[in-house]
Structure 1
């Protein structure tokens, strides 16, 4: 899967350890949030050990993007899967801390750390 629309690119990359790395690049906002939701839903219908959202390429996130990430996390938990965030930029980390998202999600400094954490669950 590799989709580009507007200013958000989403691509899925299975990792050898089990989780799928979902790479986001660009802007996650009211124009693009639904696409992330659909991508997560598609992955949750496949057997696997979870989803790592690689935010290293994400440079903007509005309230719709935050809601989409929370929904992805909740949907993963509801299906017995896991969802975590990896490699967010300092600006995205600050946004997530200001909104309390850091109290809900597990953040990892790198994709490798996130894959390792989900693989060892």
Structure 2
């Protein structure tokens, strides 16, 4: 499977819509796109995960890396549209306690 990454930018906020699977094969492509956006000062990234049907630990690692990069640059990341399965993954790992997660999809792409 593959991952589709749609990115739109408006006023230092990136709206990202992901569709497909995030795993060891697709994570490098996702990481490259997100880290490029996360480089700026005060950047906000809103990621719509409603189209993601599978994610493994490699995908979690991408989000942790982007989260750290954004925090270092006074930025913010919000994950939206998370399925129950993905929400459970973030809950189990404790990431739901530190990341801004909303099950509803918000504006954007």
Structure 1-normalised TM-score? 0.78
Residue 46 of structure 1 and its aligned partner are, at CA, apart by 5.0
Distance 1:76 1:98 in 2: 23
Contact 1:52 1:111 in 2 (8 A): no
Give the strand-richer structure, 1 or 2: 2
Cα distance change on mapping 1:89 and 1:49 into 2, 3 Å = same
Residue 41 of structure 1 and its aligned partner are, at CA, apart by 1.8
1:83 aligns with 2:93: no
Tell me the SS of whatever aligns to 2:29.
Answer: helix
Q: 1:73 matched to which residue of 2?
A: 67
Q: Which residues of structure 2 form unaligned runs of 5+? A: none
| Bigger mean CA offset, 47-56 vs 34-43 | 47-56
Distance 1:49 1:65 in 2: 21
Distance 2:69 2:90 in 1: 19
- RMSD of equivalent CA atoms: 2.0
Structure 2-normalised TM-score? 0.86
Match of 1:8 among 3, 20, 34: 3
Tell me the SS of whatever aligns to 2:18.
Answer: strand
Runs of 4+ residues deviating >6 angstroms: none
